[in-house]
Amino acid sequence: MPRRTPGLLLALTAALLTGLLALLATHPSTAAPPGSDRSWTGTWASGVSGVPASANTVFTDQTVRQIVHTSVPGSTVRVRLTNEYGTEPLVVGEAHLARGADGPTGTEIVPDSDRVLRFQGRPSVTLAPGERRWSDPVALRTPAAADLAVSLHLPDRTRATTVHSGAFQQTYIAAGNVTGKPRVEPTTTTTSWYFLSGVSVTGGSARSSVVAFGDSITDGAVTETGANHRWPDLLAERFRQNPALAGIGVLNTGIGGNRLLRDPNPPAGNPAEEYAAYFGEAGLKRFDRDVTSQPGTRFAIVLLGVNDLGHPGNIAPATEEVTAADLIAGYRKLIQRAHTHGLKIFGATILPFEGDTLNFYTPEREAARQAVNRWIRTSGAYDGFVDFDAAVRDPERPGRLLPAYDSGDHLHPNDAGMAAMARAVPLDLFR
């Protein structure tokens, strides 16, 4: 066999790499998808935030049973716990997953569906500050549009530091370790999720997911608690009714009060100091965590900007007033990052808010909203767009929500408005 020189080896290696890159370019389906690995698809997700300094929710030897709603089915499941905003280790003594049972309170599970969640083979886990971790996979047939109960026993004194404050779903707190009980007797209930940020599946028809990335309107603000009437839930229902799209999961990482460009920044003495931390980090900061790193993600829909327009001079410093150009520059950064990860990203027009009760509206902000929406519709910078503005505005007064879709604050759509938003999403974007 002839002796190969280092130069020849380098040339052969370069040729092989060139051929491989060409193959991947012409056959993109051979490339590993974005997300944690090839085989998993997100069926549920939530964006999380820290808490205000004054927050005093503390668990001590209690079980937190949390209900989440799936978007695509699977036969094997894993759950992601998170201590991202904790300053101390999070000790979970035991964790269980089960299918929720139909019942008057939502505290029940289907008994034979109960599974112990393990982490590297152990039934308990300690997460360091800033850490998030997937459980080991468990075999559990998980239908689409089903409720799952994730029950966490927190044996030590545990301050709720990593949360999703506006779940629009009941969470049940019970004394002691009752993680495996078919029914818990709650000592209290809340409408927040704690230390929980994802559920993914494999072994079913799921093949990819779309992340709905936004603020309170995506989060489902003021919709009926427990009804799963957020527009991403209703979009998932449309997917399931379409055989060509039934394998697409929908992950909702909307966070109430979230801004695209800036973190929460209430002025000293402003009442928002008591709650602004729940608004989460700026969309530009959390995009990789909440979109590109989700298992199986192929698409994203971005609905952010109304809080960037409305917060300054209200619950943020007046010096943080933004222009249409500021928002567009931020959107371009999201687009670039999505494309770097091989995702298609769709822009959603900002909904009207004239006459709102939150003091967001000014004629100048309306002009900025119109300029942003014009850019979303016409620039071609996004891979497509969803015209939520056109779907919910009043034709007689286009700066306002249609009364039939108005929750009453003239900014957030009601359940009927959420349904109109879901209907406005062009399904051809995902074919």
Question: In order along the chain (431 residues), what is the average pLDDT of each group of 10 residues?
Answer: 36 35 31 53 98 96 97 97 98 97 80 96 98 98 96 98 97 98 96 98 92 98 96 98 96 98 97 98 98 97 98 98 98 98 98 98 98 98 98 98 98 98 98 86
Strand partners, 82: 132
Q: 251 and 333 in one domain?
A: yes
Q: Is residue 54 part of a domain?
A: yes
Alpha carbons 389 and 349: distance in angstroms, whole number: 6
Alpha carbons 283 and 155: distance in angstroms, whole number: 34
Domain count for the chain: 2
Residue where a domain stops, chosen among 167, 198, 229: 198
Q: 308 and 349 in one domain?
A: yes
| Cβ(352)–Cβ(307) below 8 Å | no
Alpha carbons 252 and 258: distance in angstroms, whole number: 13
Q: 393 and 261 in one domain?
A: yes
Q: Is residue 37 part of a domain?
A: no
Q: 219 and 158 in one domain?
A: no
Q: Is residue 42 part of a domain?
A: no
Q: What is the pLDDT of residue 107?
A: 84
Q: 86 and 164 in one domain?
A: yes
- Left (φ > 0), alpha (ψ -120 to 50) or beta: where does 342 sit? left
Alpha carbons 216 and 166: distance in angstroms, whole number: 8
Q: 262 and 232 in one domain?
A: yes
Q: 218 and 132 in one domain?
A: no
Residue where a domain stops, chosen among 198, 215, 246: 198
Non-local CB neighbours of 365 within 8 Å, separated by 6+ positions: 309, 310
Q: Is residue 327 part of a domain?
A: yes
| Cβ(38)–Cβ(152) below 8 Å | no
Q: 145 and 248 in one domain?
A: no
CATH code of the domain covering residue 238: 3.40.50.1110
Angle (nearest 5°) at CA 57 between 54 and 60: 135
- Which stretches of 35-114 are assigned E, i.e. beta strand? 41-45, 58-59, 62-69, 74-82, 90-92, 94-99
Residues in the chain: 431
Q: 237 and 193 in one domain?
A: no
Angle between helices 363-378 and 324-340 (to 10 degrees): 30
Q: 317 and 425 in one domain?
A: yes
| Cβ(130)–Cβ(221) below 8 Å | no
Alpha carbons 338 and 307: distance in angstroms, whole number: 22
Q: What is the pLDDT of residue 126?
A: 98
Non-local CB neighbours of 17 within 8 Å, separated by 6+ positions: none
Q: What's the whole-model pTM score?
A: 0.91
User: Around Cβ 87, how many Cβ atoms within 10 Å?
Assistant: 10
Q: 79 and 215 in one domain?
A: no
Q: Is residue 143 part of a domain?
A: yes
Q: 211 and 177 in one domain?
A: no
Q: What is the pLDDT of residue 312?
A: 98
Q: Which of these, 180, 199, 198, 224, lies nearest to 65 by C-alpha position?
A: 180
Lookup: tokens for 260: 């695209």
> Which range marks the domain in which residue 228 is found?
207-430
Q: Which of these, 387, 389, 385, lies nearest to 413 by C-alpha position?
A: 389
How confident is the model over 99-116, as pLDDT tens digits?
A: 999 766 678 999 899 999
